[in-house]
Amino acid sequence: METPHTRTAPVSGPDALRLTVDSPEAMRRLGLRLAGVLRPGDLVLLSGELGAGKTTLTRGLGEGLGVRGAVTSPTFVIARVHPSLTGGPALVHVDAYRLAGGLDEMEDLDLDVSLPDSVVVVEWGDGKVEELSADRLHVRIDRATGDELPAGVADADVDDVRLVTVGGVGERWAGGALDGLRERGDESAGEGAYGREG
């Protein structure tokens, strides 16, 4: 039976990206790349089961945004603010796993005050924070199984492979706003493998 903490929100639409990430390091690099398309006022909702890589992705985001402090899971403090060291937006990292009250409970965190000047990332935020912004980015991370595994993945590496779906809601994410994730650079990105050589 699916519980609110294990369900993953649908991420779809014509601009949604479906990426395969084959290691924690590749997940961190995806976060680094994602930081390049984010700007102050962006709300990012991360979903996926425990251990899927949400905090690892956020760690890469923090690195890409040039924020202060180690990005770790804010599970027990609920929210952490990482100020920018480069004059860019701060990273507000929220773990809503233990919050059952939706936006009412989230209001105590004053995310609506932080949002205009920060990038706000909410793990387990589906169904809890959507009212903060009409424009938001949903990132769903699932473990790859069976036919979803890319060719050449060794049995020992299967536990590291993730399917990441990135899709935006609202005008902010329409018309190619995610193109920076599709481009090929040091790591391959696009429809298919991310972090794989070749």
- pLDDT one digit per residue (tens) for the chain, 198 residues: 223 333 344 466 667 888 889 899 999 999 999 999 999 999 999 999 999 999 999 999 999 999 998 898 877 777 888 999 999 999 999 888 877 665 566 666 666 667 788 999 999 888 878 888 889 999 999 988 766 666 555 554 677 889 999 999 999 998 888 887 764 443 434 344 444 332
Q: Which residue has the tokens 């403090």?
A: 77
d(CA 139, CA 43) in angstroms, rounded, equals 11
Its CATH architecture, for the domain 17-183, is: 3-Layer(aba) Sandwich (3.40)
Nearest to 184 by CA among 3, 42, 19: 19
143 neighbors 3 (Cβ within 8 angstroms): no
Q: Using CA of residue 69, residue 82, residue 78, residue 44, what is the dihedral sign?
A: negative
Question: For position 152, what pLDDT does the model report?
Answer: 59
| Alpha helices for the chain (secondary structure H) | 24-35, 54-65, 103-106, 111-114, 179-182
Beta bridge partners of 123: 46, 95
The domain spans of the chain are 17-183
